[in-house]
Amino acid sequence: MSYWSHRKPIRRARAVDVSSVAQAAVDLLDEGGLRGLTVRAVAARIGVAPPSLYSRVESVDDLFDLALDHALGGDPDISSAVVDAELRDLMVAYYRHLLRHRWACQVVAMRAPRGPNYLRLSERICVLLEEAGTPDPLSVAYALSNYVIGSAVTVFVADSERATLIDPKIAPVYARLHNCHDVDPESILTTGLAVLHAHASDDDEGS
């Protein structure tokens, strides 16, 4: 269950500010990853007792939801791209956002993003695909998003992958291509996005 499906109403004037909770959660995740985020740690960061925090959230899962959406909404590149970017640039902006917040990929894998900022991102992707005549825009949106998330997860091993030799006796073609390949991860990302989008267009023409 998402935080937004059960968020608690404010019942007193000096209630804990949810945006402060969300920012504290983002900071803790940026600093220490998933293990660094606890209700007690967020309470300490914003200077309240843990029971006070439970007036706004039910569990650490709510903190993950709030952090994920707050980080996205606080990214000026994403905010700009959601308004007027084309599909490729929007997906690249999302990829760069995930690199800035490495924990976000893990949280997306655990919690379906349903906050307002993620909904705006998803809406823009779907609108662009629908306007392009994509026959199944939601499936393609999922495919593109999952590809971007996977690319962001693996980018940090790109250097070691490039330096690790391939046994040509087992995989001769792979070894030959690997030896002369020196393309940066973002270029690989954009190549893959183009292939996925083109494949969706080809399916439309063939139907």
3-38, pLDDT tens digit by residue? 988 876 666 545 788 999 999 999 999 999 999 999
- The Cα angle at residue 68 between residues 37 and 131, in degrees rounded to 5: 165
For residue 21, what is the enclosing H or E element?
Answer: helix 18-32
Whether residue 90 contacts residue 54, with contact meaning beta carbons closer than 8 Å, is answered with no
Q: How many CB atoms lie within 10 A of CB 37?
A: 22
pLDDT at 14: 58
pLDDT at 13: 46
Domains defined for the chain, CATH in brackets: 3-159+182-206 (1.10.357.10)
Predicted TM-score (pTM) of the model is 0.88
Task: Residue 158: name the closest of 125, 122, 182, 127 by CA.
Answer: 182
pLDDT in tens, the chain (207 residues): 889 888 766 665 457 889 999 999 999 999 999 999 999 999 999 999 988 898 889 999 999 999 999 999 999 999 999 999 999 999 999 999 999 999 999 999 999 999 999 999 999 999 999 999 998 999 999 999 999 999 999 888 777 777 788 898 999 999 898 888 777 889 889 999 988 877 766 655 554
pLDDT at 103: 97
Q: Report how far residue 125's alpha carbon sits from residue 133's, in angstroms, rounded to the nearest whole number.
A: 13
